[in-house]
Structure 1
């Protein structure tokens, strides 16, 4: 049955529901009627509280893991709490300072992104994740170095001095000057451009017959561009830190869930696809349990927020993965503030 809107709940049902959810998020344990009766704001007998708990359970908002146990929120109950009751606690001045100091550490952007992922893990006690912006570096040259009669090493040099190598398969009976000719042709068109920009120019020249390359050199150019283009598409775009935080005391009794979660985290492309759903969000998004297909079996939650460059374009996503009993009120604004701080760095 559909969950009742918060506005249709009685004030006492709303208060008891809030206390159960907050108690569960704080301890990870079911909350019983005796514990609720001792709360200052609940002026009801244990019997009356049990009646309210039973109503909330019949509405699908709470569940009892055992007959004699207290109640804990279902995924639907957590969603209702997050959307309608939760009051976020803004990061403290100390937390803000820690976040900003880690993100602004001098060095390459990749180091800052790794620091951000580790920082979120430490602050949330979950796994910190950062989707790396899909930036294409400016390049200077590419050299094809022979390794054997049928293989060559493609050495790509970036304008920032970074060097990356890939192996290219060579056609049979390749002329001795083909590697040098192809290298010179590509390098002459790479300077100051991204690979995609240079590739468009080269493909157009080759297709129109204006390249002045022989058949062997043209084939080498196409092979080299294909290797690098395919590599760019498959390159990992996700940094995950703090998986060990997911192995807490509660995990001991639920090893299958944790094993499933760790398997999910190993599939970085799948996690990146999930986080990509948050790219178009105007603010932080929360995926609870089976609301996302990837973590349906492990019963985990994801809190993710897009970060933008100074022109307002979304360039990546930052977030936290953890059990459904994450401290949403604290983690949500922390992820949001981290995204804002990271955006200032990206520029």
Structure 2
């Protein structure tokens, strides 16, 4: 069983090489001359796990794979990739609705194709962007909009790392500060650090687990400000509430995320996205997370977005990496078969089920 505790919708569409390649990189810039996005660790992972699902040998060339993909048709490809991943539950961030200009399947459509239960994760900044009102009413209006959006949701998510950075004061801003910042707000994404911090604390106030993007991402990010260690004062401030904080992705700061999960009872470390992008090095990176993070505090996700292949890749990378790590421990006499089975169950689904109450 596998619970994907953070993912996005897929675009059911036939894609040419450029369209496909654009969705297996975090960059929105062209690759080096004479290369393609397949010339990468994640490109190798796609070629490892996906061609057999289209009746090609592992590591088939990208041209042959894309031709087989076109021949199978987008709907068939999507069904095969999601079925191969073998999920029981998907926690879908509904803050994104398109990829590469293509619409993403809504959660119910994703559930039908995956044969899995789908649970919503509400993106705080997306909700706030919909609020249009006078500045003095903004704090209450955002609170009401968030309460409505969270009805039935299992978690909220913040992209503070993208919009400003994780180096923010721990305490919530005062109402006067929020009203003042709201008065200067213009249409578009919420980027003011006061409003972003207010949203973060509004997320805590829901009582739901709060997922936070940390570590690498697309070129909009300032990577050094996405280090989860910058959150330590906020983590301490949230601790009395008991609200769980889930540190997504983490790389290259995955060891910092592991330390926070070890040090604070309400912090969890996610290995999604990282293992897909690490390609052949996935087992080494997962081993680094497990050096310090308690086994009951690590959760799996794919962070799949746009391409159904990224679900199959994320699941394949995780299963293979975890098996490689545990086989090494067993061979070294560091754990028993029973230990390995328990660790596998916790990381694959047990921790996520307990954390989100699913």
TM-score range, shorter chain: under 0.3
Q: TM-score, normalised by structure 2?
A: 0.26
Q: TM-score, normalised by structure 1?
A: 0.26
Higher relative CO (Cα under 8 Å, sequence separation at least 6) belongs to 2
Select the structure of larger CA radius of gyration: 1
